[in-house]
A and B are shown apart, each in its own frame.
Chain A
Amino acid sequence: MSNPENLGYTTDHEWVDLADPASATVGVTKYAADALGDVVYVQLPEVGATLTTGEACGEIESTKSVSDLFAPGDGVVVEINEAVVDTPELVNTDPFGDGWLFRFRVDGEPELLTAAAYAEHTKEG
């Protein structure tokens, strides 16, 4: 699956949909989901939590390992995806869709990679 062109990306493998900066959607990329293996537990930030770019705001646990979820920008969490808490495998089956993680009100302008730059970042070599 290619990375959607309309999203921004972090080097920590999160994607951000900035179409509505009052409620920007965040998830992890297909690349990250594949690397993690089967996701069995997701811990998300609470609604109202303040996010600081690059700081851990949650956890994604797979069969084999646990990874921090990093804030892709500054802001405040406005909504979390309860479905993914109950059904963590959504991260694997639909990382850019139903497997989204949380939404936040963006303060300032997060520095994100384009789809092409992210593809370059994840290129093996």
Chain B
Amino acid sequence: MSTPSPLHAVHEALSASFTDFAGWSMPLRYGSELAEHKAVRTASGLFDLSHMGEIELTGPEAAQALDFALVGKLSAVKPGKARYTMICDDEGGVLDDLVVYRLAADKYMVVANASNAATVAAALRERADGFAVEVDDRSASLALIAVQGPTSTAIIGSVTDADLDALAYYASVPSAIAGIDILLARTGYTGEDGFEVYVDGAKAPEVWRLLTEVGQEHGLLPAGLACRDTLRLEAGMPLYGNELSASFTPFDAGLGRVVKFDKPGGFVGKEALERRRDADVETKVLVGLIGSGKRAPRHGYAVLDGDGAQVGTVTSGALSPTLGHPIAMAYVPVAVSEPGTALTVDIRGTGAPVEVVKLPFYQRQA
């Protein structure tokens, strides 16, 4: 039996199609996922992301504990700011990619993917042993609502007193919506400006209702996980299970920059990641591919070179709703990773020509 979101009744009233995702029953779409996708690009979308994991670390050594547990340097993050980082195993394999908010000098919130939330919470507990820090998995009680899109500032601005001009990308501030305490963060996973609202699950339906009401004149549509996937793909953002997994290090994913070796003390995976950084090996890198027509390369399809030999594998792909042509991400050898390189994807037995491009596929106008 999958866990319902605190907003389940709201989604049912909106006639959502549900999908089981990492043990949660979550809205896949409310009507047309293409319409929801478009709403996020041109107005705003309202997402329920309550399946994500939230783990709080509180205590005088919270920063040191996270520096040891994660590959990033979380002690360098200022209170009120957030950082994209990863948690690796001893071999340097990625256990999950994370957004970590520093809420105060001695308090952090780690946001994990739903499918890895339990693994991350367990690893953080284990790795925090010996540090003066409390680890509190709040995933079951916290809801997460995201408002993403060009009109999101107007929507959030009309329900909170928070100074949005002062709230930078990857920053958060405690705030309130109609007297309900929230953590308001300017983060997201769609390639648009947007906000994430962390709120007690019991209060989430009221916050959702208010946002829907206020959002009406700003083109806000409830948006499901189906369009979230095409949005994040257009934005060239990695998805755990597709672009990232325990069999890859951050370097393999082209995200070696998130690994900070200049931390006082060691961290889990350090030796393996140093070896990987210094290794003189033929590596594969993550690239973007674009095609023509309407048939999309998809997860698992083979990428072929000019001789028809397989050189890589597609990790994610779709017909881009915004751009109108197929887009995909794939791991390919460095030798064929230059933008402009012509490759082929085997789409169910038919060779489809594709071109290597720089990520992301879509970037919002500043």
Contact = CB atoms under 8 A, between A and B. Distances in A.
Contact of A41 (B28, B32, B295, B321): B295
Interface of B: 17, 28-29, 32-34, 226-227, 229-230, 294-296, 298, 318-319, 321, 348
B296 A61 contact: yes
Nearest to B324: A40
A92 B28 CA distance: 16
Contacts of B32: 38, 92
12 contacts: A37-B29, A37-B33, A41-B294, A41-B295, A43-B295, A59-B348, A61-B294, A61-B295, A61-B319, A63-B34, A63-B230, A63-B319
A109 to B, nearest CB: 31
A32 B28 CA distance: 15
Interface string A48-77: 000000000001010111100000000000
A38 B226 CA distance: 10
Given A38-B34, A41-B295, A43-B295, 10 more contacts: A37-B33, A37-B226, A38-B33, A40-B294, A41-B294, A63-B227, A64-B33, A66-B348, A88-B294, A92-B32
B321 to A, nearest CB: 7
Contacts of B226: 37, 63-64
Nearest to A65: B298
A34 interface: yes
Contacts of B33: 37-38, 63-64
Contact of B318 (A34, A43, A63, A88): A63
Given A63-B34, A64-B226, A40 B319 contact: yes
A6 to B, nearest CB: 27
Given A37-B226, A38-B32, A63 B321 contact: yes
Contacts of A63: 33-34, 226-227, 230, 318-319, 321
A43 B295 CA distance: 10
B319 A41 contact: yes
Contacts of B230: 63
Contacts of A34: 17
A14 B28 CA distance: 23
A83 B34 CA distance: 20
A40 B29 CA distance: 16
Interface string A1-43: 0000000000000000000000000000000001001101101
A27 B179 CA distance: 52
Nearest to B294: A41
B221 to A, nearest CB: 14
Nearest to B32: A38
A70 to B, nearest CB: 15
The 9 closest A-B pairs by CB, nearest first: A41-B294, A38-B34, A40-B319, A38-B32, A37-B33, A63-B33, A38-B33, A41-B295, A64-B226
Central interface residue in A37, A63, A65, A66, by most chain B CB within 10 Å:
A63
B120 to A, nearest CB: 26
B34 A66 contact: no
Contacts of A59: 348
Contacts of A38: 32-34
A81 B37 CA distance: 28
Contacts of B295: 41, 43, 61
A41 B297 CA distance: 13
A40 B295 CA distance: 8
Contacts of B319: 40-41, 61, 63
Contacts of A41: 294-295, 319
Contacts of A65: 298
Contacts of A61: 294-296, 319
Nearest to B19: A64
A35 to B, nearest CB: 8
Contacts of B294: 40-41, 61, 88
Nearest to A43: B295
A78 B321 CA distance: 33
B285 to A, nearest CB: 26
A67 B230 CA distance: 18
Interface in A67-119: 88, 92
A66 B318 CA distance: 10
A61 to B, nearest CB: 6
B12 to A, nearest CB: 14
B298 A66 contact: yes
